[in-house]
Every structure is written in C-alpha cells, then in structure tokens.
Structure 1
Amino acid sequence: MKDPSTDAFGPQPESWEEWNPTEESVRPVRGRHRVARQRGGLARSSTVLGVGVIAAVGAGGIATAQGGKPAVHISMPDLSAVKDSLPEATSLPGVGALISDGSEGADGSDATAAPLTTVGSGTSDAGEALRTRILAQAETQQDAADAAAKQAAEQAAAEQAADEAVAKKAEADKKAAAEKKKAEEEAKKKAEAERLAKLAKSYKLPVASYTITGTFGQPGAMWSSGYHTGLDFAASTGTPIYAVHSGTVTEAGWAGAYGYRTIITLDDGTELWFCHQSSINVSAGQKVSTGDVIGRVGATGNVTGPHLHLEVHPGGDATGIDPAAWLRERGLTP
C-alpha cells in the first residue's frame, strides 16, 4: 500500500499548506536559489520566474543601450532537477530554454537559447551607427569649413595679385609715359635743331667780326624814343655788311638820324633795317640773297662811333622787335 507521506514527487512533510506569494512575502532574487518541490505552487513559481527573467533581460538591454557597457551576465539557478516535474514550464517564454538540457524543445526542435550576453547587441549596433553618422556629419562640416577657408584664402590671394598687377601696370604706364614724354621732348629738340640748322643755312649774321655795344630796349637820352630800338654791332669802318636773308631791297639812301640806311623786305613781309653805313652797294628794287654784301660799316647819322645798327619790323610795322631774339629763332646767335 502506498505510503501517504510520499508520492510521485518524493517524501512530503507531514503537513503543508498552499503558498501564495504576496508583495510582503516575495523578496528580490539574489544569487543562486533552490526551488522548493511544492505541488500546488509550481505553476505560480514558474510564472514569477519567467517574469523575472524577462525583466532581467530587458534591464540588461537598457543598460547596454544607455551606458554603452558590455552585455550583463546573469546567473540563474539550476532547474534541470525539476525539469520532468514541470512539463508546463517549457511553454513559458524564455523559461523552457533555461531548464532544457540543450537537446530538443517540447515540439522536437532545437531549443537552445541564445546566450544572454548578446542581449542588447541590436541597441549597441544602433548606437554605433548613430555615432558613425555624427562623426561623418562632423567630418563633412569640417571638410566644408576647410574648403570655404581655402576658397577664401585663394580669393584673397587672387585679389592681392590683381591689386599688385594693377599697381605694377600703373607704375609701368607712368614710367612709359615719362619715357615717352622725354623721347618726345628730345625728338622735338632734335627737330628744332634740324630746323634751325636748315634755317641757319638760309640766314646769316650781318657782320662777321663784331662786338655787341647796344641791345634792344636799353634806355638812354640819346635816343628820341627814350630807349634803344635795335641791336648794335660795333666794327671797324668799311667792314662788309651781309644780307641776313634773301629778299628785295625796298629802300637804299640817306635817312636822317639813321645815316645811310638799306631796308630789305623778306617774303613774309618782315623789314630789316641796316643803318649808319659808310657806303651802300645795292639799290631799291634789287633782289638779294643770303650773304650778299649790301654795304659797309660806318658812323653816319646820330652815332658815337662806327657800328651797324640793325632793326627788325615784322609786317613793316613802325615799332620793331628784339633783333637778337629774332635771329636766335633762326639758328643764329649774335
């Protein structure tokens, strides 16, 4: 006869009552614990254990996602001893694998659970992906900033080079303008010298050997106008007087204070007066050429000594101009 103190679960205590866990009676599971072989409380205990495992797995994933720490290793009690007594426990999510011997599940499939250390790896991969995206974005922004700085530097260098080029061009233009002006002035001087040289061949000083004793505009009481109206070439009496330029003799004879005077009218209408001659070699209406002898130096008229008094009257005007300046314009230096 069967011993009432024993059954399929082994020896039983003399008396026991059903245990229903409450908030006051349940304590947090720590370390390794043994599960009492109680007939009436196994279903409820298995359910509580499954909920605890799920909570622990969730906590491990959160810790991994938030702190970036390695997966948490969770120690579970060895429930293989009560495997056969808990046929309904294999259907609980996450519990059947914990009490399995690693061979087959209830439906004959491989029930080996993934290691708990892999819990939260998906979240870790998501965090790594976010970190990678942030780093890539920062690198892109840095590259854009570097490119903008490089472009700004290149633009500044280009502007500086352009300014320097403009300054160099302005300096070169200024130098070229100065050189051009200098060249033009030199060319002008050369042209004028050539012109005067050519004129000099067609003009001649009236006396070969002389001394200037009176200039145009010189004041004095001996002149009726109050100033000297011509240029005086002092020379010995009888010194030849030459025609300064080719023209026509319009007057030749006595002229009062001017003594013996010869007037030659040039093609442009300018009159040249040769005064105080001792003798006259031409007559009115005669054509003369540059260098022809038209008379001799004397002291006739209002004079203090022998000399040639030369006056220049442009256009036949009564008032003359400075003969020295007129001669210099034609390449002659009296």
Structure 2
Amino acid sequence: MYIPNDDDFGSYDEDSLDAFEEWNPTEESIRPVRGRHRVHKKSGGGLARSSTVLGVGVIAAVGAGGIATAQDGKPPVSISMPDLPGVGAVADSLPEAKSLPGVGSLMSDDSADTNASAVAAPLTAAGVSTTDAEQGTTDAGEALRARIMQQAENQQNQADTAVRTAAEQAAAEQAAEEAADQQKAAEKAADAKAAAKKKKEEEARKAKAEAERLAKLAKSYAIPTSSYTLTSHFGDAGSMWSSGHHTGLDFAAPTGTPLKAVHTGTVKEAGWAGAYGYRTVLELEDGTEVWYCHQSSLNVSAGQKVSTGDVIGRVGATGNVTGPHLHLEVHTPGGAGIDPLGWLQSKGLNP
C-alpha cells in the first residue's frame, strides 16, 4: 500500500483553510445509503474519492451509535475540499468503500433494517444469554435472578448430597462396627464353647484317670469286714463318747465276723486297750495307722507283717460298747484322727 508524504500534497496557506465552513451532520446527511453510492469527481480534484470514503466512515460511525442529531439547528452545509496536488494518486490507490470490513453491510439495502432492529432492541436485554433467550427470558434482571436462584439451588443440592453422603458413610461405618462386634461376639461365644468343651473333656479325662488310679489302688486295699451295717460316723455327737463326739466309723456285724487288713503293713500293737477292748494297730508304709477295736479275738501279734486282705482278728463287743461291731479309726502319720469313710473312698473303696 502506498503511503503519501508531504511532497505529494504540495504547498498551501492558512487563508485557504479559513474558507472552509464548519460541518454539522443533519438527518439528511446521515441517512443510510441505499443502493449503489455514486461519487462525482470534481474536475481536476484529487480528493473526490477520499471525500467519499470520509462520508462513508461518518455514516458507519453514526449508524453504529444508533443516534445522530443536528447541532444548534444549523442548516446542512456542503463540504468542499480544495484540490491538492498529488492527492489524486492517493485516492486512486484507496480500496472501494464497500470492500472495507464492517462498511459493506452499511451500504446494502438490508443494513437499514438490521440497524433498526439493533436500535429497537431494549436495553433490558443486555446480559441475556442465548440460553436465557431459549428459556423465554428477555429481561436482564430476571435472567440474573434466575441464574442466582439456579446457583443457590445447585449449592443446596450439593449440600444435601454432601449431608446424604455423610449420613450414608456414617451408616455404613456403624453397620461395619456392628458387624465387627457381632463377629467378635460370635468368636467369643465360639471360644467360650470350645473352652467349655475342652474343660469338660479335660474333666472327663481326669475323672477317667482317677477312676483308673482308684481301680488299680483298690486292688491293693480292702474293706475291713463283710456282712456289716454302718451305724455311727466320724464326728457324730453324743454322751456315749468321752470326747463328746464319735472318733471313728462303726461296722455293726455278728460276733466272730473276720477282720481283714485294709492294706499291706506292720502290726504295731495287738492287745487290750481299755474302753477300746481288744485292739490291733496296723501301721502302713506311709505311716498311716488303722485301729481295729472291740475285737472278740486277735489273730496277729506286734511286729508281724501282713498283706491286703489278711485276717487279723474277729468282730466282738469288748470294751465300752452296746453291741458287737468293729470300731475303725484312721490316724495320720502325725497322730491326728481323720474320717475313715473318706480315707477308704480315697483308696477306691466304697463301704
């Protein structure tokens, strides 16, 4: 594109510029151009086309603003530009006004209707988006209000969703905790059941072992007599006994019924013992003493070794008695008297 310089315009004086009058646009001068604009070039003038471009630019500016009024009511004044040397070449190099961007539509026949529609559009439509228009909203305030309400609703929905999600998570955690507690309770119950079963089995095993022990032990121990009835037990109270209570276990049986050694041992004493009548004291290997009292006769003597089941005497009624019976006492190695029934049972015997 050619750019003119000062030499192209030649020289001119300020008096010639004073001849130009002030130009004020009027309704007629800014009326939209319809159809093809014709430019009359002055003879010898170089600014005919440039003045046309200037006029079109004014029309575009005024048309885009939508308003133009006359100032001070002055009549329209024709604009006349002096012919300047060299300007013609510049004018010839300028493009057609219709080809300028944004100007072509102003020069077409439809531009008036478009501009009229733009001017006629209400200011309240500013800020109305295409989506708002599609939803039937044409007022900017109403559109803003709708967007604010929509935003508030979205925020409320998000808050509700967060609350619901938190509640669901809390419920899931609580359910998981309850399931874990139930699992622990079930495991605890199973452990308790298993422990009880194990304990029962252990007790059964111990009972079996004890029964086997007593059965084996019973083979080495024997009940001291036969054909008897238990009449008085250890600890029974009464005035018949000097101590105020019974110190042994009585086996009532006919006189002459054999008396047997309850276990292997040594005869420590055999003879008369006052209120006990004829008495035999059998000392066992562990130091326990077994007393046989009120015998009618003695079959052993002191220092004699006997085995389980050997006959050592006979049932009688000697000493302080009310009838024939065996008064049996058991003393620990320390000399304390204990219940003969419990001691016999501990040996696997059940008199």
TM-score range, shorter chain: 0.5 to 0.7
Q: 1:153 to 1:257 in 2, by over 3 A?
A: closer
Deviation at 1:168, TM superposition (A): 2.4
Summarize deviations over 1:82-141 as a string: whole Å, max 9, x none: xxxx985346433257659xxxxxxxxxxxxxxxxxxxxxx99xxxxxxxxxxxxx9xx9
Describe how 1:233-312 pairs up with structure 2 within 5 A. 233-312=251-330
* Counterpart for residue 61 of structure 2: 51
Q: Secondary structure at 2:56's aligned position in 1?
A: helix
Deviation at 1:50, TM superposition (A): 2.5
Amino acid in structure 2 at the alignment position of 1:95: V
Deviation at 1:174, TM superposition (A): 1.3
Inter-partner Cα distance in structure 2 for 1:28 and 1:307: 158
Give the conservation status (yes or no) of the 8 Å contact 2:258–2:311. yes
1:95 to 91, 103, 119: 103
Q: Secondary structure at 1:216's aligned position in 2?
A: coil
Inter-partner Cα distance in structure 1 for 2:64 and 2:321: 150
Give the conservation status (yes or no) of the 8 Å contact 1:299–1:305. yes
* Counterpart for residue 12 of structure 2: none
Summarize deviations over 1:274-323 as a string: whole Å, max 9, x none: 01111111111111111111111011111111111100011151x41111
Give the conservation status (yes or no) of the 8 Å contact 1:260–1:279. yes
* Counterpart for residue 230 of structure 2: 212
Deviation at 1:37, TM superposition (A): 7.3
Inter-partner Cα distance in structure 2 for 1:159 and 1:306: 78
Q: 1:327 to 1:92 in 2, by over 3 A?
A: same
Amino acid in structure 2 at the alignment position of 1:276: H
Deviation at 1:38, TM superposition (A): 8.9
Amino acid in structure 1 at the alignment position of 2:25: P
Deviation at 1:242, TM superposition (A): 0.8
Give the conservation status (yes or no) of the 8 Å contact 1:54–1:94. no
* TM-score in terms of structure 2 length: 0.59
* TM-score in terms of structure 1 length: 0.62
Describe how 1:105-120 pairs up with structure 2 within 5 A. none
Inter-partner Cα distance in structure 1 for 2:37 and 2:180: 94
- Any stretches of 5+ residues in structure 2 without a counterpart? 1-21, 41-47, 67-93, 109-128, 131-154
Deviation at 1:250, TM superposition (A): 0.6
Give the conservation status (yes or no) of the 8 Å contact 2:36–2:107. no
Give the conservation status (yes or no) of the 8 Å contact 1:53–1:94. no
Give the conservation status (yes or no) of the 8 Å contact 1:252–1:263. yes
What is the root-mean-square deviation in Å for CA atoms of aligned residues? 4.5
Q: Does 1:21 align with 2:29?
A: no
Give the conservation status (yes or no) of the 8 Å contact 2:35–2:107. no
Q: Secondary structure at 2:333's aligned position in 1?
A: helix
* Counterpart for residue 185 of structure 1: 203
Q: 1:306 to 1:94 in 2, by over 3 A?
A: same
Q: Does 1:200 align with 2:208?
A: no
Q: Secondary structure at 2:302's aligned position in 1?
A: coil
Q: 1:91 to 1:220 in 2, by over 3 A?
A: closer
Inter-partner Cα distance in structure 1 for 2:344 and 2:28: 142
Deviation at 1:324, TM superposition (A): 1.1
- Any stretches of 5+ residues in structure 1 without a counterpart? 1-17, 57-85, 101-122, 125-137
* Counterpart for residue 333 of structure 1: 350
Q: How many residues align?
A: 253
Summarize deviations over 1:117-175 as a string: whole Å, max 9, x none: xxxxxx99xxxxxxxxxxxxx9xx9xxx8999998887666655544433322221111
Inter-partner Cα distance in structure 1 for 2:95 and 2:219: 147
Give the conservation status (yes or no) of the 8 Å contact 1:239–1:296. yes
Q: Secondary structure at 1:308's aligned position in 2?
A: strand
Give the conservation status (yes or no) of the 8 Å contact 1:271–1:316. no
Give the conservation status (yes or no) of the 8 Å contact 1:249–1:263. yes
Give the conservation status (yes or no) of the 8 Å contact 1:273–1:310. yes
Alignment identity in percent?
64
1:229 to 247, 257, 271: 247
